[in-house]
Amino acid sequence: MSARGPFRDKPQDKVLIRVEALALSRGGRVLFENLSFAAAPGDYVEVQGSNGSGKTSLLRAVAGLLRPRGGVIAFEGAEEPSLALHYVGHANGLKREASAREHLRYWTGLFGGSASEDDVAQTLEIGRVMDLPVRVLSQGQARRLALSRLLIAPRPVWLLDEPVAALDDAGKAAVNGMIASHRATGGLVIAAVHEALGPAPTKTLQVRR
Amino acid sequence: MSAFAATFRRELALMWAGGGAIAPLGYFFGATMLVPLAMGPDRALLETAGPPLVWIAAALSVLAMLERLFQADLEDGSLDQMLLSPAPLEVIASAKGAALWVAIGLPIALAGAPVAIALQAPVERVPLIVASLALGTAAFVGVGLIGAALTASVKRAGVLLALIVLPLFAPPIIFGASVASGEEVFAAFSILGGCALAGAALGPIAAAAALRLQAE
């Protein structure tokens, strides 16, 4: 994958994330306390930790989907906060009965994107299955479709939870290429992973109590 | 395409793929056609009791469609994406409500015509009954959005959902039944319209507030 893409027709916001003294809990149990880090445009932050340590919760908190117990999460430089980030979580956010193309069209409306569906499909190599309902896709194909959200509408910050789960080598290479081209244009990526992705992270966060 | 239009279109497509209005219409016809069987062929009795029963069946048909409305979105991760859309969640919830009304509410209102005739409603009153059902199902959907959002994370939420929603179905049922039996038609119609507007305006707002809590 080259680091260029058809989706970068205009420069995007340069967003800096600052997290200070973050404390998270789930179901009354404290996951971690006093986590601080900063991430600048172009950074790739890898979040590591054992099962249940709070990697997913950290990403959800940064995405604004989970209210922290304490601490500060600040996005600096985002002109329009609602256009600051994409989050691809464990759950793919797909409907079994809708086709891949219908999903891309829906996300285009939901997120206000302008990318061409076919270009997105080509990058993630899902062109062959665009008109099939999700229920007949393989795990890996469904994951690729979920990741295609990242390209549908440009967002400076990508929050990825196990992005390459269920992906084959070609899929991993495609994701690494997407991350590289995103960083090259000033994007910021935070990914929770079990095994390191391809690129060397600018920062590694160990999440534990 | 706006987030409202995209959501509306997707919801309609998903409901269509899931069988469209077939199940709720079957429920509606089935329930109302049991009425004369249970009450016997006494024409005078049917004339008084029949038309209001159309409303009970309509309310239950809408209720049956509510349980999975937001639950599915919560489970498969779609709700997260709705929360991250630049469009307010209220707009997305109202698009879902509008799609539900078009897919289920309108067909039930139209099916009200043959059902009302079968239950001995005077023919000249049938257009009124259809129009009042269209308003009433809109009110049901508005209230239903709230109940569906509040119970989105509850497993087997059907009973809880009914407990929350059925008391709030009471005003449209009271005034809808009043239209169906031809009493105080104009006043009842106005209040029914008010119920529909209140449901359409407040339902998405309350549902969005409930969904934000459920997403955590």
Q: Where are the domains of chain B?
A: 3-214
More confident residue, A117 or B87: B87
When pLDDT is averaged across residues A79-89 and rounded to a whole number, the result is 89
Q: Spell out which residues of chain B touch residue A108, defining contact as CB-CB under 8 Å.
A: 1, 6
| pLDDT tens sequence across B140-167 | 999 999 999 999 999 888 899 999 999 9
The whole-number average pLDDT for the span B61-71 is 93
**Chain position carrying tokens 């206000």:** A112
Mutation for B interface: A57, A104, A106, most B CBs within 10 A: A106
ipTM for the predicted complex: 0.90
For residue A67, give the nearest of B85, B87, B216 by CB distance. B216
- Residue scoring higher pLDDT (A191 or A77): A191
What lies within 8 Å, CB to CB, of B70 at 6+ separation is B79, B96, B148, B149, B152, B207, B211, B214
Distance, in Å, from the CA atom of A10 to the CA atom of A198, rounded to the nearest integer, reads: 27
B5 close to A (CB below 8 A): yes
Query: Mean pLDDT across the stretch B78-102?
Result: 96
Of A63, A87, A109, the CB nearest to B1: A109
| Residue B132 pLDDT level (bands cut at 50, 70, 90) | very high
Q: What is the predicted pLDDT for the residue at A13?
A: 74
CA distances from A187 to A176, A190, B93 (A): 13, 10, 31
Chain A residues closer than 8 Å to B77 by CB? 89-94
pLDDT of residue A1: 33
Higher pLDDT, B124 or A2: B124
Do β-strands A85-88 and A70-76 pair in parallel, antiparallel, or remain unpaired?
A: unpaired
Query: How high is the pLDDT of residue A98?
Result: 95
Evaluate whether B182 touches B120 at the Cβ level (below 8 Å). no
pLDDT, tens digit (0-9, with 9 covering 90-100), for B27-48: 999 999 888 888 887 888 888 8
Residues of A in contact with B80 (CB under 8 A): 63, 65, 87, 89, 91, 93
On the question of pLDDT at B63 being above 80, the answer is yes
Confidence of residue A147 (pLDDT cuts 50, 70, 90): very high
The partner residue sitting opposite A93, judged by closest CB among B2, B9, B78, is B78
Mean pLDDT of chain A: 89
Residues 6 or more apart whose CB falls under 8 angstroms from that of A26 comprise A54, A57
Residue range A95-104: mean pLDDT, rounded = 95
- The position carrying tokens 């990914």 is A191
Domain boundaries, chain A: 16-206
What value does the mean pLDDT take over residues A130-149? 95
Pairing state between β A16-26 and A70-76: antiparallel
Interchain pair A86, B76: CB under 8 A: no
Does residue A27 surpass a pLDDT of 70?
yes
- Among B1, B3, B80, select the one facing A89 at the smallest CB separation: B80
A114 or A175, which is more confident?
Answer: A175
Residues of B in contact with A75 (CB under 8 A): none
Distance from CA of A108 to the nearest CA of B (A): 8
Q: Please, what is the average pLDDT of chain B?
A: 92
For chain B, percent of residues with pLDDT exceeding 90? 75
State the average pLDDT over residues A132-143.
95
Tell whether B124 lies on the interface with A, counting CB pairs under 8 A: no
B80/A65 touch (CB, cutoff 8 Å), yes or no: yes
Residue A4 has pLDDT above 70, yes or no: no
B83 touches chain A (CB under 8 A): yes
Looking at chain A, which residue has its C-alpha nearest residue B79?
A: A93
Interface contact flag, B2 A109, Cβ < 8 Å: yes
Average pLDDT over residues B188-215: 94
Confidence label for A10 from pLDDT (cuts 50, 70 and 90): low
φ and ψ at residue B83, rounded to 5 degrees: -65, -30
* Residue A11: per-residue pLDDT: 53
Closest by CA position to B169, among listed B32, B29, B58, B68: B58
One of 3.40.50.2000, 3.40.190.10, 3.40.50.300, 3.40.50.720 is the CATH number of A16-206, namely 3.40.50.300
Please give, rounded to a whole number of angstroms, the shortest distance from the CA of B134 to a CA of chain A.
Answer: 28
Element (H, E) at A143: helix A139-147
In this prediction the pTM is 0.91
| Ramachandran quadrant class, B154 (left: phi over 0; alpha: psi -120 to 50; beta: rest) | beta
Chain A closest-CA separation from residue B71 CA (Å): 13
Q: Is A135 on the interface with B (CB under 8 A)?
A: no
- What integer pLDDT is reported at residue A2 of this predicted model? 34
Average pLDDT over residues B59-80: 93
Q: Which among B76, B80, B92 is the nearest to A95, CB-wise?
A: B76
